Amino acid sequence: MSKSHKTHYKALQDLVQQYGQETLVFYARVRAVGFAILEEYRSFLGAPEGAVNGVPPFEAFEPRVPYRDAMFSSYGGGALYLEPIFMGLCTEIGNKGDDGATWVRTVIEFRPAADGLEVLVGERQRRELIAPGGETGGRRVCEAILEDVREAFSLDLDEARGRVRIGFVPPAQP
Protein backbone atom coordinates (compact mmCIF):
# COMPACT_ATOMS: atom_id res chain seq x y z
CA MET A 1 0.00 0.00 0.00
CA SER A 2 1.38 3.39 -0.91
CA LYS A 3 2.15 5.92 1.79
CA SER A 4 -0.16 8.45 0.18
CA HIS A 5 -3.16 6.15 0.53
CA LYS A 6 -5.06 6.61 3.78
CA THR A 7 -6.02 3.39 5.54
CA HIS A 8 -9.56 2.74 6.72
CA TYR A 9 -8.25 2.81 10.27
CA LYS A 10 -6.76 6.28 9.76
CA ALA A 11 -10.08 7.42 8.31
CA LEU A 12 -11.83 6.13 11.45
CA GLN A 13 -9.33 7.99 13.61
CA ASP A 14 -10.10 11.19 11.69
CA LEU A 15 -13.82 10.57 12.24
CA VAL A 16 -13.28 10.07 15.98
CA GLN A 17 -11.26 13.28 16.14
CA GLN A 18 -14.05 15.20 14.37
CA TYR A 19 -16.67 13.65 16.70
CA GLY A 20 -14.62 14.65 19.75
CA GLN A 21 -14.21 18.21 18.51
CA GLU A 22 -17.93 18.56 17.72
CA THR A 23 -18.83 17.12 21.12
CA LEU A 24 -16.59 19.55 23.00
CA VAL A 25 -17.95 22.51 21.02
CA PHE A 26 -21.54 21.37 21.74
CA TYR A 27 -20.88 20.97 25.48
CA ALA A 28 -19.20 24.38 25.71
CA ARG A 29 -22.03 26.02 23.78
CA VAL A 30 -24.75 24.43 25.92
CA ARG A 31 -22.99 25.49 29.10
CA ALA A 32 -22.57 29.09 27.92
CA VAL A 33 -26.13 29.34 26.61
CA GLY A 34 -27.56 27.69 29.74
CA PHE A 35 -25.94 30.16 32.13
CA ALA A 36 -26.90 33.07 29.86
CA ILE A 37 -30.54 31.89 29.82
CA LEU A 38 -30.62 32.00 33.63
CA GLU A 39 -29.56 35.64 33.70
CA GLU A 40 -31.67 36.68 30.75
CA TYR A 41 -34.79 35.01 32.16
CA ARG A 42 -34.31 36.65 35.58
CA SER A 43 -34.01 40.03 33.88
CA PHE A 44 -37.01 39.26 31.63
CA LEU A 45 -39.14 38.54 34.71
CA GLY A 46 -37.90 41.59 36.58
CA ALA A 47 -37.34 39.14 39.44
CA PRO A 48 -35.12 39.67 42.47
CA GLU A 49 -31.71 38.04 42.71
CA GLY A 50 -32.08 34.34 43.56
CA ALA A 51 -35.59 33.98 42.08
CA VAL A 52 -34.14 32.06 39.12
CA ASN A 53 -31.70 29.25 39.76
CA GLY A 54 -30.22 26.37 37.82
CA VAL A 55 -31.18 23.00 39.35
CA PRO A 56 -30.76 19.35 38.34
CA PRO A 57 -33.25 18.59 35.56
CA PHE A 58 -34.68 15.36 36.95
CA GLU A 59 -33.51 14.59 40.48
CA ALA A 60 -34.82 16.04 43.70
CA PHE A 61 -33.43 19.51 44.34
CA GLU A 62 -33.27 22.35 46.81
CA PRO A 63 -34.39 25.52 45.02
CA ARG A 64 -31.82 27.86 46.58
CA VAL A 65 -28.71 25.68 46.32
CA PRO A 66 -26.17 26.94 43.76
CA TYR A 67 -25.83 23.79 41.63
CA ARG A 68 -23.69 25.44 38.95
CA ASP A 69 -22.74 22.77 36.36
CA ALA A 70 -24.90 20.16 38.13
CA MET A 71 -27.91 21.89 36.54
CA PHE A 72 -26.99 19.98 33.37
CA SER A 73 -27.79 16.29 32.85
CA SER A 74 -24.25 15.77 31.54
CA TYR A 75 -22.70 16.69 34.90
CA GLY A 76 -20.51 13.98 36.41
CA GLY A 77 -21.21 11.50 33.61
CA GLY A 78 -17.61 10.79 32.63
CA ALA A 79 -17.69 10.04 28.90
CA LEU A 80 -19.11 12.72 26.64
CA TYR A 81 -21.58 11.95 23.88
CA LEU A 82 -22.99 14.07 21.10
CA GLU A 83 -26.54 13.69 22.40
CA PRO A 84 -29.18 15.92 24.02
CA ILE A 85 -28.32 17.67 27.28
CA PHE A 86 -31.06 18.66 29.72
CA MET A 87 -30.96 21.63 32.08
CA GLY A 88 -33.21 22.42 35.03
CA LEU A 89 -34.30 25.99 35.68
CA CYS A 90 -36.18 26.81 38.88
CA THR A 91 -38.44 29.86 39.12
CA GLU A 92 -39.16 30.94 42.69
CA ILE A 93 -42.39 32.89 43.04
CA GLY A 94 -42.59 34.68 46.39
CA ASN A 95 -45.96 34.89 48.13
CA LYS A 96 -47.49 38.36 48.23
CA GLY A 97 -48.85 38.08 51.79
CA ASP A 98 -45.95 36.43 53.63
CA ASP A 99 -42.37 35.23 53.21
CA GLY A 100 -43.36 31.88 51.68
CA ALA A 101 -42.71 30.92 48.08
CA THR A 102 -43.59 28.41 45.38
CA TRP A 103 -41.01 26.85 43.08
CA VAL A 104 -41.51 25.57 39.56
CA ARG A 105 -38.86 23.64 37.66
CA THR A 106 -38.73 23.95 33.88
CA VAL A 107 -36.65 21.43 31.96
CA ILE A 108 -34.84 22.72 28.90
CA GLU A 109 -33.40 20.28 26.35
CA PHE A 110 -30.47 21.23 24.11
CA ARG A 111 -29.82 19.25 20.93
CA PRO A 112 -27.02 19.61 18.44
CA ALA A 113 -28.30 20.79 15.06
CA ALA A 114 -26.59 21.45 11.76
CA ASP A 115 -28.06 24.96 11.67
CA GLY A 116 -27.31 25.88 15.28
CA LEU A 117 -28.50 24.71 18.66
CA GLU A 118 -32.01 23.34 19.04
CA VAL A 119 -33.68 24.26 22.34
CA LEU A 120 -36.86 22.53 23.58
CA VAL A 121 -38.50 24.26 26.54
CA GLY A 122 -40.77 22.72 29.15
CA GLU A 123 -43.52 20.11 29.08
CA ARG A 124 -44.77 21.14 25.67
CA GLN A 125 -41.23 21.26 24.31
CA ARG A 126 -41.57 24.62 22.62
CA ARG A 127 -38.85 24.62 20.00
CA GLU A 128 -36.41 27.45 19.41
CA LEU A 129 -33.35 27.41 17.21
CA ILE A 130 -30.29 29.37 18.24
CA ALA A 131 -28.18 30.13 15.20
CA PRO A 132 -24.42 29.65 15.35
CA GLY A 133 -22.99 32.60 17.27
CA GLY A 134 -26.40 33.41 18.79
CA GLU A 135 -26.37 33.91 22.55
CA THR A 136 -29.55 32.51 24.10
CA GLY A 137 -32.52 32.65 21.77
CA GLY A 138 -33.51 35.84 23.51
CA ARG A 139 -37.04 36.81 24.32
CA ARG A 140 -38.61 33.75 22.65
CA VAL A 141 -36.86 31.33 25.02
CA CYS A 142 -37.80 33.49 28.03
CA GLU A 143 -41.43 33.60 26.89
CA ALA A 144 -41.45 29.81 26.48
CA ILE A 145 -40.08 29.35 30.03
CA LEU A 146 -42.68 31.76 31.43
CA GLU A 147 -45.46 29.91 29.61
CA ASP A 148 -44.23 26.60 31.04
CA VAL A 149 -44.32 28.07 34.56
CA ARG A 150 -47.82 29.42 34.03
CA GLU A 151 -49.02 26.07 32.72
CA ALA A 152 -47.77 24.37 35.87
CA PHE A 153 -50.63 26.10 37.68
CA SER A 154 -53.28 26.09 34.97
CA LEU A 155 -54.52 22.49 35.24
CA ASP A 156 -55.12 22.75 38.99
CA LEU A 157 -56.72 26.18 38.63
CA ASP A 158 -58.91 25.05 35.75
CA GLU A 159 -60.03 22.02 37.74
CA ALA A 160 -60.83 24.18 40.77
CA ARG A 161 -62.88 26.51 38.56
CA GLY A 162 -64.70 23.65 36.83
CA ARG A 163 -62.96 24.12 33.48
CA VAL A 164 -61.59 20.60 33.11
CA ARG A 165 -64.36 19.31 30.90
CA ILE A 166 -64.82 20.52 27.37
CA GLY A 167 -68.38 20.18 26.13
CA PHE A 168 -69.77 20.06 22.65
CA VAL A 169 -73.28 21.05 21.77
CA PRO A 170 -74.42 19.42 18.50
CA PRO A 171 -76.27 21.59 16.01
CA ALA A 172 -80.02 21.67 16.38
CA GLN A 173 -81.90 19.17 14.24
CA PRO A 174 -84.46 20.67 11.82
User: How many domains, in total, are found in the chain?
Assistant: 1
Q: What residues have CB less than 8 Å from 139, skipping those under 6 apart?
A: 44
Residue 15 located in a structural domain? yes
**Per-residue pLDDT, 1:** 47
Residue 3 located in a structural domain? no
Q: Is the pTM of the predicted complex or chain greater than 0.85?
A: no
CB-CB contact of 110 with 128 (8 Å): no
Residue 2 located in a structural domain? no
For 125-150, write each residue's pLDDT tens digit: 999 888 776 666 688 999 999 999 99
Residue 1 located in a structural domain? no
Residue 18 located in a structural domain? yes
Chain mean pLDDT for the chain: 85
3-state helix, strand, coil in the chain (%, to 5): 35, 20, 40
For 57-101, write each residue's pLDDT tens digit: 999 999 999 999 999 999 987 888 889 999 999 999 888 888 888
Residue 117 located in a structural domain? yes
Domain that holds residue 59: 8-160
